[in-house]
Structure 1
Amino acid sequence: MNASVKGFGLVEVLLALVLGLVMSLALVQIFISSKSSYVSQTSSAGLQEDARFVLSKMVQEVRLVGMFGCLGKVDDATAGNSFSKAFEEPIHWDANSQTLTLATAGTGEGGGWSTWVIHTDCLSSATAYTNGRAPRLAVDETAMPVHRQVYRFNKARNELSLNGQPLASNVRTFSVLFGVAGSTRERSIARYAAAAAPSLIRSVRLTLTLFDPADRAQEQTIDVVAAIRNRLG
């Protein structure tokens, strides 16, 4: 070969191509791995955010369960309809139908909607009327709106609804446990149970598990405990 001719031989070119291909494959693999990790983290964060949003709303309402005004007893002017026991049992969990029912004070939803309006003078009388059917307030009375909130978990559809409207999708499980005192005089919690007399309930534990239908992230389970601020029963 003429020593004055400069360049690369066939072996050198092939070796360079192989090295370039290996490096390209490594870079592509790093990119794919980084993207997969980003998608997984984003999906996981989204599931946590959805679960915390739903549970934070429920916690606010649970804390205000049984807040019916100044007096402990409310006369129900709506007796005879399906809501008549709400003031006797303002919180109820039906494990069979996966339904949590609350009678709670308003939490700032806006507007004038409420299930009942309680008229009370904070001295001797407190009467609940179906919203829209309440008489005019007396001079010494104040009005307090009370909501009936029904959360239902539909396992077949993996959906949690509020008053019949979808609230959260891709729900794997939803459960409720009551923190129960040993007696009506005690404030400390002796045990957790799925059912209890209202007068013994001191807190509510809510557990919600969400999943990603595209299987990009692991299931996210959020567990919160809300203290009952008002003595029930």
Structure 2
Amino acid sequence: MIRADVRGASGFGLIELMIALALGVILILGVTQIFIGAKHSFVVQQSASTMQENARFLLNRMARELRMVNMFGCLDLNRLPASVAASVPSAFAQPIAYSDGTLTILTAVPHAQRFSVASTRSASDFGARWLLITNCRTAEDLRIGTEDVPVRPGDVLIPIRQLEYSVQEHSVRARLNGSGNRETLIDGVVALNVSFGLSATVDEAHVSGAYVSAIDPTDFPRVRSVRLELQLSDNPDDPDAGDVRAATYSLVATLRNRTN
């Protein structure tokens, strides 16, 4: 009689298979958890980096415009004859204004063209709202307009544009020359605060006292600098619930022709 010896037989039983499946599931869950954590860290780092880049872009842009306020090259609007000063637009009396959350800035558009023959030019030719034309020799020879302003040989053109910055729907938006749609510059904005550093008198060059959040046209001759404070979050509706802590960025822009 032949007996089969099965003592050496081996293989996977049901218990071993269940253990293997359980270990596989645990391993997959562990890898998935690591992947989710790594992805979340990447998203958080990306959000923080985007916030910093947005703040740098916006504050540098606004500061560049603010530093050029009230600079008209060879032209000094404060020393014009009364007959000529009467033709200057009233908006020029306050080239920096902040009202109802909108910052308005008047700046000259860089332009170096000189004319050798008589012609006419319009502010729209230079993306500006107003056009100042002078020969830089006599204050009486100043022409200001928007359309078809006469140009003589040797004249210098000073295009003036109006920029508006405001916060709408958690975005900083800009508009040029007081018309058209507002262009979105950055998103994720919790707040944009603007304050002004004033000197004690018109003749002093340095800021005296604390910054103020509002000015009127009579204060502008004493404005020496403008402080911008920008608060950003990846969840501007509820900054405390965001993945990234809300960050505040600030920058002080000094008016170049007002301080020593």
Q: TM-score if structure 1 supplies the norm length?
A: 0.81
* Residue 66 of structure 1: how far off its partner (Å): 0.3
Given the alignment of the two structures, is residue 206 of structure 1 paired with residue 228 of structure 2, yes or no? yes
Is it true that 1:159 corresponds to 2:174 in the alignment?
A: no
Gaps of 5+ in 2: 112-124, 176-180, 237-241
Paired amino acid for 1:166: E
The corresponding residue for 1:184 is 202
Cα shift readout 1:178-207 (whole Å, capped 9, x = no counterpart): 122233333232221113411221111112
Kindly provide the CA deviation profile for residues 128-148 of structure 1, in whole angstroms up to 9, marking residues without a partner as x. Answer: 5233242223x4431111111
Instruction: Provide the C-alpha distance between the structure 2 equivalents of 1:201 and 1:51, rounded to a whole number of angstroms.
Output: 24
Any residues of structure 2 matched to 1:51-90 within 5 Å, and which? Answer: 51-73=55-77, 75=84, 78=87, 84-90=89-95
How far apart are 1:21 and its partner, in Å? 1.9
Q: Tell me, yes or no, if structure 1 residue 122 matches structure 2 residue 136.
A: yes
Structure-2 residue corresponding to 1:175: 193
Residue of structure 1 in register with 2:160 after alignment: 146
C-alpha contact (below 8 Å) 2:227/2:251 kept by paired residues = yes
Unaligned stretches of 5+ residues in structure 1? none
CA deviation string 1:36-77 (max 9, x = no partner) = 111222233223323322222211110100012223225457
Matched, 1:100 2:122: no
In structure 2, what is the Cα distance between the partners aligned to 1:152 and 1:62? 15
| Contact in 2 for aligned 1:76/1:129 (Cα 8 Å) | no
Structure possessing the higher relative contact order (Cα contacts under 8 Å, 6 or more residues apart) = 1
Deviates more, 1:177-186 or 1:23-32: 177-186
- Please, what TM-score do these two structures have when normalized by structure 2? 0.73
Percent identity, aligned pairs only, is: 32
Asked if the contact 2:102–2:167 (Cα under 8 Å) also holds between the matched residues in 1, the reply is yes
Is the counterpart of residue 219 in structure 1 residue 224 in structure 2?
Answer: no
**Aligned CA distance change for structure 1 residues 107 and 13 (closer, same or farther; 3 Å):** farther
| RMSD across aligned positions (CA) | 2.9
Asked if the contact 1:77–1:127 (Cα under 8 Å) also holds between the matched residues in 2, the reply is: no
**Secondary structure at 2:126 match in 1:** coil
- Comparing 97-106 with 127-136, greater Cα deviation is found at 127-136
Residues matched between the structures, number: 222
Q: 1:25: Cα distance to partner?
A: 0.9
Distance 1:58 1:9 in 2: 73
Partner of 1:33: 37
Whether the 8 Å contact between 1:101 and 1:149 is mirrored in structure 2 is yes
- Deviation, structure 1 residue 29: 0.2
Write the letter of the residue equivalent to 1:161.
R
> Following TM superposition, by how much is the alpha carbon of 1:216 offset from its aligned partner in structure 2, in angstroms?
5.0
Q: Secondary structure at the match of 2:202?
A: coil
Q: Secondary structure at the match of 1:207?
A: strand
